[in-house]
Amino acid sequence: MYSPSRRKAFTLVELLVVIAIIGILIGMLLPAVQQVREAARRTTCMNNARQIALAVLNYESAYQKFPEGWDGWNASSAFPKQYTPFNYRGSTPYKGNYWGWGAFILPFMEQNNLYDNCDFNTVFGEDMLLPNGEQTTGSVIPAYTCPSDNPKIDGKNTCYTSNSLDLPNGLSNYVANIGYSMWNSRRMQPNHKNKWGPFGMNTRVDFGTLTDGSSNTIMIGERSSDSETGPRPKNPLMVGAIWAGNYRWQNNPDLSTPMAGRWSNMGRAGGLNFIVNGNYRARSIASSGHTTGATVALCDGSAQFLSDNVSNSTLNYLCAYQDGKIVNEY
């Protein structure tokens, strides 16, 4: 009588071989999947930069100037504010509300309701609440955040204010270009004008001012929430940026007080450490959660991905809008 043979089962060795092969395939595919995901995040980041740049250009079209980097006024003046020109002021102190460009362009970012709730006659972040009880400047705006970033608090950063409170403010991964001179020089000394960027305190820059050309000048750059490294790292909480404005450098009794970024919504080049994804990540115009570079937008509205290999001098030239240095390739 015919008897069909009994079907053989997998042996333990065969099963282990199959599992090992599957593991190898997964190991080979995982980096590719991660690269695809990072490419998608990088695309989103560049789209964010283009959207912000377009908002700045629409602002310029409406007001015939780029928004000032942040808002300040003479300490001796009361409301209405009496602006002091952006020039050397010696030891005369400044006061101001320190709202910044990221707040001024809100109507052009489809954030009209949030803009209407911002009281620009007060210091940003103080005693302003939305109808739902949330702090106005604590709002998280998706277009201001890079999906590759890793903020310390979910979508928020802290920022020092005049009443000594560390208030949660909405994160921004994009900062405006202040140039590549030293901070005090950028704020006070006109003889460093060839190192200035388009944004600063009470700046009034238009396309006619950009003598190097709008396609050769950085408008905004990406800011990582990672801590600084290097010889003199800042407080690890002073990372990232906020969209609302600039921190109060004047009348700040403790400069080590946690705040978002060295200059909140401003970034710079200059100095050997100020390179793309360099040591001074909390102050730089270009640092990111991306693995090979960072996103910037130029004053013509285009977005570029700057490689980590971009030289310090090239970054300097791209940050200055009237230094006569034209960069053709980078």
Please report, for residues 44, 57, 108, the alpha-carbon distance to residue 51 in angstroms, rounded to integers and kept in the order given. 10, 10, 9
Q: Report pLDDT for 18.
A: 82
- Count the residues in the chain: 330
Local structure of residue 149 (DSSP, 8 states): -
Domain extent listing, the chain: 36-319
Measured distance CA(117)–CA(59) in Å, rounded: 19
Higher pLDDT, 67 or 160: 67
Measured distance CA(143)–CA(213) in Å, rounded: 26
Measured distance CA(256)–CA(159) in Å, rounded: 11
Q: Report pLDDT for 4.
A: 56
Q: Report pLDDT for 307.
A: 93
- Span 250-289, pLDDT tens digits: 444 444 444 556 667 888 888 777 889 988 888 889 999 9
- Span 167-214, pLDDT tens digits: 678 889 999 998 886 544 344 455 667 888 999 877 888 999 999 999
